[in-house]
A = this chain, B = another copy of it.
Amino acid sequence: MNEAEFIDALRGLARDPAARGLLDDVAVLGDLVFTHDMIVEGVHFLPNDPPEDVAWKLVAVNLSDLAAKGAEPVGCLLGYTLGPAEWNAAFIAGLGAVLEHYSMPLLGGDTVKANGPRSFGLTAIGRSAHAPAREGAQAGDALYVTGVIGRAGVGLELLKTGRTGPEIEAYRRPQPRLAEGRALAPVVHAMMDVSDGLLIDAARMAEASGLAVETDLDDVPVAGDPMRAVTAGDDYELLFAAPADLPLPVAATRIGRFAAGGGLSLTRGGQAIALPSSLGWVHD
C-alpha cells in the first residue's frame, strides 16, 4: 500500500460529512475549520534552515489552509520532536513570533523525542461562517490567483545552489493570505491554497468540481521561468473560482476559466501548448 493507496484507504474511513471526503485540506464542523499539516526535515524544510523559520513555516502552512476557507485563527496544537538545546530555544522564539504575528493562540500539543530526521505537526483551528469547498467551481467561472507564483520555488533553488536573494524569504516564511481569504470566502464558488504547484492545484479544483479548466501561461504573474513557476510548490497563494463579472474584494489575477468537460489545458498567448511532465509536487 503506497501513499496514494493509503490516502484512498483513509478516504474510505472518513465518511463523516465534516471530513469533506478528505478532498478539501480541512474538516468543517459547524463554523469551525480544522487542518493538520506536518513538515519533515529534508522534505519540507532543509536541515540548515533557521529553526525560527521552521516554526514560521509550520504555522504558516496550516494558516494558509484556514485562509483558503476564510477562517479566523482560533487556536492550534503543536506536535514537536525535540532537537538540540539551542535548536529548541530558537524554535520557541520563532514560534512565539509567528503566533503573535497572526494572533494564533497556542492551546496544547505534545513533545516527544525521536532519532533521525525530525518532523513537526500542527493542528490549526479556525472559525469561518462561509468555508468554500474546493469542489464548487461552475462552468463559465473564471480562475483567479492572488500574488505572484514561483517565488518560493526560486528561493528553494537559490538555497540549494548556495546563492542568496529575496526569494529565500518567500520559501522560508510564507505569508498566508488570511485577510484575502476572509474577504473572498463569502463570494467565491471554490477556493484552495496553492501548496503543491499552480497547475496541479488548478487541475485538482477542476476535477473536484467535475469541470475542465484552461489557463494561459502568459496570464500568470510569475517569478522566474514561467513553466517552472507554475509547477513549483510552497507559494501559499489563494486559487479561486468566481463568476467572471464579479467585482473582487481583493487584488487577484484572472488566469483561466472553467468549462464543461474535464482535465487541464494550457495555452501561451492563446496557443495551446503541451502540459509539462509534472504538474507539481505529487505524492507518489
What 1/0 mask marks residues of chain A from 3 to 42 whose CB sits below 8 Å from any chain B CB?
1011101101111101100100111010010111111111
Which residues 31-79 of A have a CB within 8 angstroms of B?
32, 34-44, 74-75, 77-79
Nearest B-chain residue to A107, judged by Cβ: B27
Sample of 19 further A-B pairs with CB below 8 A, known A14-B107, A25-B108, A115-B116: A1-B92, A6-B80, A12-B96, A13-B92, A16-B75, A16-B107, A18-B75, A19-B75, A19-B108, A27-B108, A29-B74, A32-B32, A34-B108, A38-B79, A40-B113, A110-B121, A112-B119, A116-B116, A121-B121
Q: Is A128 at the interface (CB under 8 A from chain B)?
A: no
Q: CB < 8 Å: which of B14, B39, B74, B88 contacts A1? A: B88
Report the interface size for chain A: residues with CB under 8 A from the other chain: 66
Q: Is A123 at the interface (CB under 8 A from chain B)?
A: yes
Q: CB < 8 Å: which of B1, B26, B82 contacts A85? A: B1
**Chain B residues, CB < 8 A from A112:** 38-40, 43-44, 119
**Chain B residues, CB < 8 A from A22:** 108
Q: Is A111 at the interface (CB under 8 A from chain B)?
A: yes
A contacts with B: majority SS: mixed
Nearest B-chain residue to A77, judged by Cβ: B36
Taking the full assembly, how many copies of this chain does it contain?
2
Name the 10 nearest CB pairs between A and B, nearest first: A116-B116, A16-B105, A27-B107, A36-B77, A1-B89, A123-B123, A79-B121, A1-B88, A27-B108, A14-B106
Q: Is A81 at the interface (CB under 8 A from chain B)?
A: yes
**Chain B residues, CB < 8 A from A12:** 96
Question: In the docked arrangement, what's the CA distance between A283 and B259, Å?
Answer: 57
Q: A92-B9, A95-B13, A106-B13 are in contact. Are A114 and B111 (CB under 8 A)?
A: no
Question: In the docked arrangement, what's the CA distance between A77 and B33, Å?
Answer: 12
Question: In the docked arrangement, what's the CA distance between A171 and B88, Å?
Answer: 31
Question: In the docked arrangement, what's the CA distance between A238 and B3, Å?
Answer: 37
Nearest B-chain residue to A84, judged by Cβ: B1
- Chain B CB count within 10 A is highest, among A18, A32, A119, for A119
Q: A6-B92, A88-B1 are in contact. Are A14 and B114 (CB under 8 A)?
A: no
